[in-house]
Amino acid sequence: MSDKIHVRLAVHGMTCAGCEDHVREALHSVGAENIETNFRRGEATFDIHDETSIETAKHAIAETGYKAGDAEVLNHLKGESTSSTGQCDYDLLIIGSGGAAFSAAIQAVSYGAKVGMIERGTIGGTCVNIGCVPSKTLLRAGEINHNAQRNPFAGLQTNAGPVDLKTLVAEKDKLVAGLRQHKYIDLIDDYGFELRQGEARFLDENTVEVNGDRITAQTFLIATGASPAVPNIPGLEDVDYLVSTTALELQEVPQRLAVIGSGYIAMELGQLYHNLGAEVTLMQRSERVLKHYDPEISEVVSQDLTEQGIHLITEATFNQVEKDGYIKRVHITVNGQEHVVEAEQLLVATGRRPNVDTLNLKAANVKVGERGEVVVDEYLRTTNPRIYAAGDVTMGPQFVYVAAHEGWVVAENAVRGSNRKVDLQHVPGVTFTNPSIATVGLTEEQAKVQGYEVITSVLSLDAVPRALVNRETTGVFKLVADAKTRKLLGAHVVAENAGDVIYAATLVVKFGLTIEDLKETMAPYLTMAEGIKLATLTFDKDVSKLSCCAG
Catalytic position from the list 1, 90, 132, 184:
132
Catalytic position from the list 1, 16, 326, 525:
16
Integer CA distances (angstroms), 377 to 384, 411, 446, 531, in order:
11, 15, 22, 38
Catalytic position from the list 264, 379, 522, 549:
549
**Residues 233 and 318 sit within 8 Å (Cβ to Cβ):** yes
**Residues 247 and 264 sit within 8 Å (Cβ to Cβ):** no
DSSP state string for 396-462: S---HHHHHHHHHHHHHHHTS---PPP--TT--EEE-SSSEEEEEE--HHHHHHTT--EEEEEEEGG
Main-chain dihedrals φ then ψ at residue 435, nearest 5 degrees: -70, 155
**Residues 270 and 290 sit within 8 Å (Cβ to Cβ):** no
Give ∠ CA 159-163-168 in degrees, rounded to 5: 125
Report d(CA 402, CA 365) in Å as an integer: 25
Catalytic position from the list 14, 283, 395, 528:
14
Q: Say what angle helices 264-276 and 295-308 make with each other, to 10 degrees.
A: 20
> In terms of Cα–Cα distance, which of 205, 199, 200 is closest to 217?
205
Neighbours of 13 (CB within 10 A): 15
Report d(CA 94, CA 44) in Å as an integer: 24
**Residues 37 and 26 sit within 8 Å (Cβ to Cβ):** no
What stretches of 256-294 show up as alpha helix (H) in DSSP?
Answer: 264-276
Catalytic position from the list 90, 111, 117, 127:
127
> In terms of Cα–Cα distance, which of 85, 355, 83 is closest to 193?
83
Report d(CA 415, CA 395) in Å as an integer: 24
**Residues 521 and 551 sit within 8 Å (Cβ to Cβ):** no
Report d(CA 339, CA 319) in Å as an integer: 10
Report d(CA 251, CA 139) in Å as an integer: 15
Based on the residue annotation, tell me whether 66 is a catalytic residue of this protein: yes
Residues contacting residue 143 through CB under 8 Å, at least 6 positions apart: 275, 434
Element (DSSP H or E) covering residue 379: none
What string of H, E and C letters represents the secondary structure of 235-266? Answer: CHHHCCCECHHHHCCCCCCCCEEEEECCCHHH
Based on the residue annotation, tell me whether 88 is a catalytic residue of this protein: no
List, by residue number, the catalytic residues: 14, 16, 19, 66, 127, 132, 548-549
